Amino acid sequence: MTTVLGLLDVREDQVWRNPGSRVSALTELMIEHTLDERIRLHKGLLDSDDVGLFTRGGCHIFALALHDRFKYPHCIPGHSGKAVSHIYCRFVGPPHYAVDVFGFTPEADRVWDFSGLTTPSMSREELLLLSRPLADGTGLCSDDWFVIPARQRAERSIDQFVDVFSGNRKGRIP
């Protein structure tokens, strides 16, 4: 099977997977909704502003765009309860920064937003393995009708604030 996020093809048999691995454990933590609810949610995200899109269900798209452009070493899931709360990139410091649609936030402050939970490192390939078509019922949305326009919006936002997202000016987006 090949996972395509409009970005990179990753065959699942090319990436080490184990039923007890972090990838499997995180996939099991995803919130379950009906297919119609998931489609309606994601179509609504595309109608929202960039902050809404990239904080309520498209954060993985923004994190991948940042990673691909600036080669930030990891995408980091902030998870709480039974769901992935947010995925962002890590800019390795000191201090470490969380980089997402808001720009640069000291990671210690951003982790606090997620109840102070730990933020394990995750490779790009592990993140892509969490991406699934909405019809699969688990994982992060990988349907092209969502990924392609979300990725285009992420690229435009990064281009608009490239001085911040590149790390040349570490701060929040105005």
Judge contact between 40 and 47, C-beta under 8 A. Answer: no
pLDDT in tens, 28-53: 334 456 888 888 888 999 999 999 99
Token pair listed for 173:
């987006």
**What pTM does this model have?**
0.76
Half-sphere exposure of 139 (CA within 13 A, CB side): 20
pLDDT in tens, 102-123: 999 988 777 655 555 556 677 8
Total count of residues recorded for the chain: 174
DSSP 124: H
The helix (run of H) or strand (run of E) holding residue 10 is: strand 9-11
Strands 140-141 and 75-80: unpaired
Q: What are the phi and psi torsion angles at 163 (to 5°)?
A: -65, -35
Alpha-carbon span 52 to 61, nearest angstrom? 13
